[in-house]
């Protein structure tokens, strides 16, 4: 059975309030180093920026685990996941902690429909490191909101890539939001998808 591998934040849901709360917690934690962090963020991911300031990713995970995840069940997403699960192995791959991944999936109402999930705690490095994509096989479908971080390595491995949101010429497909996924899947020639 082929897999669909989803990024989590800003792919399966979009919640500006949660994003702002997380960023505020990081800035408050950094104190007078926040200006250097903002500078680093222009070229690096959150975790890489924190690492360059001398913080371990465990600091980031503990910080994020304290931020309440204020998401609600998403009936449209639940319905779509139920249908997709009949044909695909459903996997979520995120850079956040295992607690945040599980709690987010539970709040959205799709935890039971996800076969496997991987967090930033499962790998030495974070996406886009190649080790994070060891589960991706040729012909799998990868869905994410950032080509460089979520889709570039899978595309190199022969996966079909679907970008959510941003305009990007390198992804195989682009959709405005996760709810458009099914309309794209019908154009992908997969023997086990009808």
- Whether the predicted pLDDT of 168 surpasses 80: no
pLDDT above 90 covers what percent of the chain? 83
Write down the pLDDT at residue 191: 53
- Whether the predicted pLDDT of 194 surpasses 50: no
Q: Does domain 3-13+72-185 have CATH number 3.40.50.1000?
A: yes
Write down the pLDDT at residue 189: 59
Rounded CA-CA distance 1/84 in Å is: 12
**What is each CA distance from 40 to 48, 54, 127, in whole angstroms?**
8, 13, 17
Q: Between 79 and 128, whose confidence is greater? A: 79
Task: Taking residues 157-182, report their average pLDDT.
Answer: 91
Residues 63-85 pLDDT 10s: 999 999 999 999 999 999 999 99
Specify the DSSP element, H or E, that contains 138: none
Write down the pLDDT at residue 139: 92
Token pair of 108, please? Answer: 């959205």
DSSP per-residue letters across 57-124: HHHHHHHHHTS-------HHHHHHHHHHHTTSEEEEE-SS-HHHHHHHHHHHT-GGG-SEEE-GGGSS
Give the domain ranges of the chain.
Answer: 3-13+72-185, 16-65
- Mean pLDDT estimate for the chain: 92
Task: Taking residues 120-148, report their average pLDDT.
Answer: 93
- Whether the predicted pLDDT of 111 surpasses 90: yes
- Whether the predicted pLDDT of 166 surpasses 90: no
């Amino acid at each position: 059975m082929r897999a669909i591998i989803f990024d989590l934040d800003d792919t399966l849901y979009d919640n500006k309030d949660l994003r702002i709360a997380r960023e505020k917690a990081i800035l408050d934690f950094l104190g007078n180093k926040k200006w250097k962090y903002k500078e680093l963020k222009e070229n690096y991911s959150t975790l890489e920026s924190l690492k360059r300031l001398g913080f371990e990713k465990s600091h980031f995970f503990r910080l994020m685990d304290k931020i309440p995840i204020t998401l609600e069940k998403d009936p449209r997403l639940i319905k779509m996941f139920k249908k997709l699960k009949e044909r695909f192995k459903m996997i979520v791959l995120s850079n956040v902690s295992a607690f945040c991944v599980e709690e987010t999936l539970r709040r959205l109402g799709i935890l039971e429909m996800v076969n496997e999930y991987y967090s930033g705690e499962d790998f030495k490095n974070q996406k886009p490191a190649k080790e994070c994509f060891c589960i991706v096989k040729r012909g799998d479908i990868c869905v994410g909101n950032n080509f460089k971080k979520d889709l570039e390595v899978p595309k190199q491995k022969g996966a079909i890539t679907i970008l959510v949101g941003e305009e990007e010429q390198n992804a195989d497909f682009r959709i405005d939001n996760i709810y458009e996924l099914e309309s794209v899947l019908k154009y992908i020639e997969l023997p086990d998808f009808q």
